[in-house]
């Protein structure tokens, strides 16, 4: 364990609440302590209200906040006395508990307090820190875990047998803690769940957490259960994009909506997925109960989604009572001997969170096995958390899903102009986007998990195949394709047009698109909501210009290619439509000087030149992207083989 406390940093935090923020973030920075919203912290402060009354207040982590990035606003203030009285009740339903918590806050705008608020109140210390430390849950998830925890900590910690989080746990802790705690108590272990530390200062409570977890790590090390053998390095030699796309389609059908499927680049998880023991070791509950809402109760081994669904149905039937309604039957974690660890989600962020959780779970399982035997909670306890209304509420927050949630788009010529505008629009509507461009800036165009920029010469078919392979591994398949990459050579009459230039234009504007369409077709065919293609054509298709023979001919041929594809691919449910833009001047091709030169050529002002169309309007890359992306959406669900101009109206075309 690394103690991240830094006196200089800490000095900037003066109030108790500020220090609470500081050490909460320190905990949040260490994924071996808490992952993605796990864990919670609190501080008890006495304050004077507007009427001059002195009040004891519990500031406790609010739901929806992550310890790593929490701020003071993430700690709703709750009346401590009221929480302590609630802890004495024999029972309290979940809706009543949430209502009590909300009604006894001192800030109407604060987030809902953690469901562990009453537990935090019941611990008689100013600062309370709670994590799901890997090392501690490793030891508690073994058959003789309780004895081992006693071996590690002696009587420094109070140990509480597993109770489901929420009011019942708070009540049990309120009762048992008082009986067991003494002067030397510095923490509390909740079996199969996690650990608490506490103290009068933020620093001491944090230090105790680090020390306690270090003791657990030392214990594992002393029992040859800390250092894991290094797995063999990853080899991604065999192509697997089609296998992934088939699996993603099955998963999406089981879920009832398009899912992202990510192949995790983690050698240990890959080796675990291929190991003999995986069938037994992976088929128990999660390392700590709240992981279940992300990961489901167990991973799927192999690719038989239907069988997984049946087993999930059985698990539901065995544990449900009448008020429960079954959730979707799709797995979130998949362990396949060839494909390794795969995770799914409504978007890549979710799939990555699940991947992070499962990579930690693999280490926890392996260390517990090295120590003695991995033994997670039984199904009934996991079910109770999975189907706990308060946990389900965490997932359903954030209302309607964006239009392309769970879907994947690939855009060529994506580093600038119309291509980049398409990327932006697709990202804003929830798609994961792969951008190809010959310009190396594409790789760093955006640093976000839902964007993958690949430098790629589209005339190199192997490079295209490689890009599709990376798309499959990152996101699981391909739903949408925007063919935008193209070149517009300087004007040249047919009399001056040499073969090389002609061939080069045909290569980029026509042949490359054929190659990509051919290679993408098997993936588009497997798109859960059917495949869609949009071609960025040109006004030149119907109204060519002198001096642009190669460009006009290439775009006209591409147009025919799209029309034939619409005929051939309709049987596969794939729609392909074209947009024909004209005079889009906010692209890399058009510098101020070129624009001025063209305007001079026609004896026009730049403004008149830019708007020389029937509607006298300017057309931007974003306008074209808006239309192109609409064509990928529901509005065009029943249209294929269409060609829509976006040119402000052209008297040669209308
Ligand atoms: Zn917890």
205 Cβ partners below 8 Å, 6+ apart?
23, 125, 127, 128, 129, 197, 198, 199
Interval between CA 141 and ligand 1 midpoint (Å): 15
Interval between CA 86 and ligand 1 midpoint (Å): 20
For residue 484, name the pLDDT band (cuts at 50, 70, 90).
Answer: very high
The three-state secondary structure class of 196 is: strand
Report how far residue 299's alpha carbon sits from residue 354's, in angstroms, rounded to the nearest whole number.
11
Interval between CA 324 and ligand 1 midpoint (Å): 23
Report how far residue 338's alpha carbon sits from residue 341's, in angstroms, rounded to the nearest whole number.
9
Cα 588 versus chain centre, distance: 33
Interval between CA 139 and ligand 1 midpoint (Å): 16
> What are the structure tokens assigned to 200, written together?
């009068």
Beta partners for residue 128, in sequence order: 42, 198
Largest CA distance in the chain: 99
Interval between CA 137 and ligand 1 midpoint (Å): 11
Report how far residue 201's alpha carbon sits from residue 126's, in angstroms, rounded to the nearest whole number.
7
Report how far residue 346's alpha carbon sits from residue 357's, in angstroms, rounded to the nearest whole number.
16
Interval between CA 190 and ligand 1 midpoint (Å): 8
Predicted TM-score of the model (pTM) = 0.94
Are residues 296 and 331 in contact, defined by beta-carbon separation less than 8 angstroms? yes
Q: Are strands 157-160 and 187-190 parallel, antiparallel or unpaired?
A: parallel
Interval between CA 130 and ligand 1 midpoint (Å): 7
Averaged pLDDT, 491-519: 95
**How do residues 399-432 score in pLDDT, each as one tens digit?**
578 999 999 999 999 999 999 999 999 999 999 9
274 Cβ partners below 8 Å, 6+ apart?
337, 338, 340
Interval between CA 562 and ligand 1 midpoint (Å): 55
Report how far residue 311's alpha carbon sits from residue 149's, in angstroms, rounded to the nearest whole number.
34
Are residues 376 and 287 in contact, defined by beta-carbon separation less than 8 angstroms? yes
518 Cβ partners below 8 Å, 6+ apart?
none
Q: What is the pLDDT of residue 395?
A: 61
3 Cβ partners below 8 Å, 6+ apart?
206, 207, 210
Examine the pLDDT at 390 and tell me if it is beyond 60: yes
The three-state secondary structure class of 473 is: helix
Interval between CA 320 and ligand 1 midpoint (Å): 23
Per-residue DSSP letter, 495 = G
What are the two backbone dihedrals, phi and then psi, of residue 526, each rounded to the nearest 5 degrees? -95, 5
Interval between CA 169 and ligand 1 midpoint (Å): 11
Report the alpha-carbon angle 248-249-253, nearest 5. 115
Are residues 508 and 487 in contact, defined by beta-carbon separation less than 8 angstroms? yes
Report how far residue 135's alpha carbon sits from residue 210's, in angstroms, rounded to the nearest whole number.
11
Least confident of 202-216, 243-257, 316-330: 316-330
For residue 528, name the pLDDT band (cuts at 50, 70, 90).
Answer: very high
Interval between CA 252 and ligand 1 midpoint (Å): 31
Count Cβ atoms within 10 A of the Cβ of residue 235 and give its class: 0-12 exposed, 13-18 middle, 19 or more buried. Answer: exposed
108 Cβ partners below 8 Å, 6+ apart?
none
- Concatenated DSSP letters of 393-453: HHHH-S-SPPTTTT-EEEEESTTSHHHHHHHHHHHHTT-EEEEEESSGGGGGS--STTEEE
pLDDT, greater one: 138 or 49 = 138
**The three-state (H, E, C) secondary structure of 5-30, written as one string:** CCHHHHHCCCCHHHHHHHHHHHHHCC
Interval between CA 166 and ligand 1 midpoint (Å): 10
- Concatenated DSSP letters of 540-561: GGTS--TTBHHHHHHHHHHHHH
Q: Are strands 408-412 and 480-483 parallel, antiparallel or unpaired?
A: parallel
Half-sphere exposure of 90 (CA within 13 A, CB side): 0
Least confident of 33-42, 545-554, 580-589: 580-589
Q: What is the pLDDT of residue 393?
A: 65
Match 């989604």 to its residue by tokens.
305
Averaged pLDDT, 559-584: 97
Report how far residue 194's alpha carbon sits from residue 39's, in angstroms, rounded to the nearest whole number.
9
Residue 551: active-site member = yes
* List 551, 602, 609, 636, catalytic entry: 551
Q: What is the pLDDT of residue 285?
A: 86
**How do residues 594-648 score in pLDDT, each as one tens digit?**
889 888 988 999 999 999 999 999 999 999 999 999 999 999 999 999 999 999 9
**How do residues 64-114 score in pLDDT, each as one tens digit?**
899 999 999 999 999 999 999 999 999 999 889 999 999 999 999 999 999
Report how far residue 300's alpha carbon sits from residue 345's, in angstroms, rounded to the nearest whole number.
14
């Amino acid at each position: 364990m690394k103690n991240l406390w830094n006196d200089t940093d800490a000095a900037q935090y003066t109030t108790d609440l500020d220090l609470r923020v500081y050490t909460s973030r320190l905990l949040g920075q260490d994924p071996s302590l808490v992952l993605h919203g796990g864990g919670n912290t609190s501080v008890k402060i006495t304050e004077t209200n507007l009427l001059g009354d002195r009040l004891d207040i519990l500031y406790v982590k609010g739901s929806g906040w992550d310890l790593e990035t929490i701020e003071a606003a993430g700690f709703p203030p709750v009346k401590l006395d009221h929480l302590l009285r609630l802890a004495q009740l024999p029972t309290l339903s979940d809706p009543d508990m949430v209502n009590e918590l909300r009604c006894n806050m001192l800030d109407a705008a604060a987030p809902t307090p953690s469901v562990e608020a009453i537990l935090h109140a019941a611990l008689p210390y100013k600062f309370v820190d709670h994590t799901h430390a890997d090392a501690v849950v490793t030891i508690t998830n073994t058959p003789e875990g309780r004895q081992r925890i006693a071996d590690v900590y002696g009587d420094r910690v109070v140990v509480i047998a597993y109770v489901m989080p929420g009011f019942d746990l708070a009540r049990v802790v309120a009762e048992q803690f008082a009986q067991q705690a003494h002067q030397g108590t510095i923490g509390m272990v909740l079996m199969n769940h996690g650990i608490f530390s506490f103290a009068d200062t933020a620093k001491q409570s944090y230090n105790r957490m680090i020390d306690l977890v270090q003791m657990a790590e030392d214990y594992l090390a002393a029992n040859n259960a800390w250092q894991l053998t290094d797995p063999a390095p990853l080899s991604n030699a065999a192509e697997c994009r089609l296998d992934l796309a088939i699996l993603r389609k099955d998963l999406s059908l089981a879920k009832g909506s398009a899912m992202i499927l990510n192949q995790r680049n983690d050698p240990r998880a890959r080796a675990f997925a291929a190991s003999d023991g995986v069938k037994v070791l992976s088929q128990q509950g999660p390392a700590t109960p709240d992981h279940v809402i992300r990961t489901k109760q167990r991973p799927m081994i192999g690719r038989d989604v239907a069988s997984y669904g049946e087993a999930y149905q059985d698990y539901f039937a065995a544990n449900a009572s009448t008020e429960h309604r079954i959730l979707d039957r799709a797995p979130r974690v998949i362990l396949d001997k060839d494909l390794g660890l795969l995770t799914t989600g409504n978007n890549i962020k979710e799939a990555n969170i699940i991947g992070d959780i499962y990579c930690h779970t693999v280490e926890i399982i392996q260390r517990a096995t090295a120590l003695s035997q991995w033994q997670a909670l039984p199904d009934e306890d996991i079910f109770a958390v999975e189907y706990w209304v308060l946990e389900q509420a965490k997932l359903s927050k954030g209302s309607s899903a964006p239009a392309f949630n769970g879907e994947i788009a690939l855009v060529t010529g994506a580093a600038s102009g119309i291509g980049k505008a398409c990327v932006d629009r697709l990202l804003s509507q929830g798609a994961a986007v792969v951008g190809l461009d010959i310009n190396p800036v594409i790789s760093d165009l955006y640093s976000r998990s839902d964007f993958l920029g690949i430098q790629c010469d589209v005339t190199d078919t192997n490079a295209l195949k490689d890009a599709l392979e990376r798309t499959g591994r990152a996101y699981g398949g391909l739903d949408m394709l925007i063919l935008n990459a193209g070149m517009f050579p300087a004007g040249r009459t047919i009399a001056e047009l040499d073969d090389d230039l002609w061939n080069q234009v045909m290569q980029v504007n026509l042949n490359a698109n054929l190659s990509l369409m051919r290679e993408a077709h098997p993936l588009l065919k497997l798109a859960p909501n059917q495949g869609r293609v949009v071609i960025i054509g040109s006004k030149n298709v119907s109204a060519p210009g002198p001096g642009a023979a190669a460009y006009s001919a290439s775009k006209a041929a591409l147009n025919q290619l799209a029309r034939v594809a619409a005929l051939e691919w309709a049987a596969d449910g794939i729609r392909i439509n074209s947009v024909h833009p004209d005079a889009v001047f906010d692209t890399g091709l058009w510098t101020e000087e070129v624009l001025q030169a063209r305007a001079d050529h026609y004896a026009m002002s730049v403004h008149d030149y830019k708007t020389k169309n029937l509607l006298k309007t300017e057309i931007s890359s974003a306008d074209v992207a808006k239309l192109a992306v609409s064509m990928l959406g529901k509005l065009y669900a029943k249209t294929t083989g269409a060609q829509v101009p976006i040119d402000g109206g052209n008297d040669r075309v209308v």
